[in-house]
A = this chain, B = another copy of it.
Amino acid sequence: MTLRRFEVTTLGTGAALPARGRFPTAQLVNVHEGLYLVDCGEGTQERLREQGINFLRIGRILISHLHGDHYLGLMGLISSMHLMGRTTPLHVHGPAPLKEIIDVQLRASSTWLRYPLHVHVTAPESGRVVFADERVTVTALALKHRIVCTGFVFTESPALRSLRRETLPLIPHFKRQAVKQGEDLVLPDGTRYPNIDLTLDPPPQRRYAYCSDTAYEPALAPFIQGVELLYHEATFTEQLRARATETMHSTAAQAARLALEASVGRLLLGHFSSRYKSADELLAEALPIFPNTLLSTEGATYLVDQRSIV
């Protein structure tokens, strides 16, 4: 079986007001070697460079909402890709005003991009497909924030069925791919072997859910039920719950509660308010409610994988 990588690298995990050493939100999601950038705060291209990631490999950028800490690095990245000679298309998905924001700036700088740039509007409705390609299907999550904001669920494409070891001598080499894809085997003498007798179910499709920024929203649970990895914002602790409610952010406890309700594999906390010098107190609040909780840390990579439960 080929390696089916599915992982998330944190590029920034600060909140609106960047604190020294914490950068605004951006994540790089790698699904089977396809690179998807999720949110793109100011300085994201610098973070990508630090991680040694070739910008030109990024095919799609998903912007959750238009607060500056989630998209202000986008224009610089679009421009750098142009200067680096990109010719392959770039798809950007985000809220409706994003296209105008990009267009007015390209116009002001008299930039005619050397590559096709497609800007798509994300419908803010949970379960709606944002895009699908050969590696992944991404659906939206209707988050609950001060302005239109969507989260994203990444579901990897199904793996091929694996051949039962004992049937291997039976299947001609040139038929194997078709059988892995689910076809029955018909031999030259007309004998038919149903696929189910030849193959085993592939491992289940893994899923990653991204929820930032949002108030506590139990209505999300059915859409993220059982995902291997859930990223959820945790801007405040319970001590500042009133502030969380007012600004439509979550506390660490609320993030943990949603993780519990949705029976996710692991919970990754991020988007920490700059008032917390260390995010440890946010982690401490979440752990008793949902033990499989981790802090999202700049530069770290998290596998989307049942087996890697902490």
Q: Which of A145-173 contact B (CB under 8 A)?
A: 146-147
Question: A39-47, A129-137, A285-293: which lies at the B interface?
Answer: A39-47
Alpha-carbon gap, A95 to B107, bound state (A): 13
Is there a chain B Cβ closer than 8 Å to A200's Cβ?
A: no
Q: Which of A70-78, A177-185, A191-199, A236-244 contacts B (4 or more CB under 8 A)?
A: A70-78
Query: In the complex, which residues of chain B have a beta carbon less than 8 angstroms from the beta carbon of A246?
Result: none
Residues of B within 8 A of A66 (CB): 105, 108-109
A24: chain B residues at CB < 8 Å are: 76
Residues of B within 8 A of A67 (CB): 109
Give A101-122 as 1s and 0s: 1 = Cβ < 8 Å from B's Cβ atoms: 1001101111000000000000
Say yes or no for A18: interface residue by CB 8 A criterion: yes
Chain B's closest residue to A83 (CB) is: B17
Q: Tell whether, in the assembled complex, residue A104 and residue B100 are in contact, meaning their CB atoms are under 8 Å apart.
A: yes
A307 at interface by CB-CB < 8 Å: no
Q: A68-B109, A109-B147 are in contact. Are A84 and B17 (CB under 8 A)?
A: yes
Q: Are B72 and A68 in contact (CB under 8 A)?
A: no
Residue A80 at the chain B interface, CB threshold 8 Å: yes
Partner of A45 from the list B16, B18, B49, B109 (CB cut-off 8 Å) is B18
Shortest CB–CB separation between residue A147 and chain B, in angstroms?
5
Q: Are A97 and B101 in contact (CB under 8 A)?
A: no
Residues of B near A46 (CB, < 8 A) are: 18, 42-43
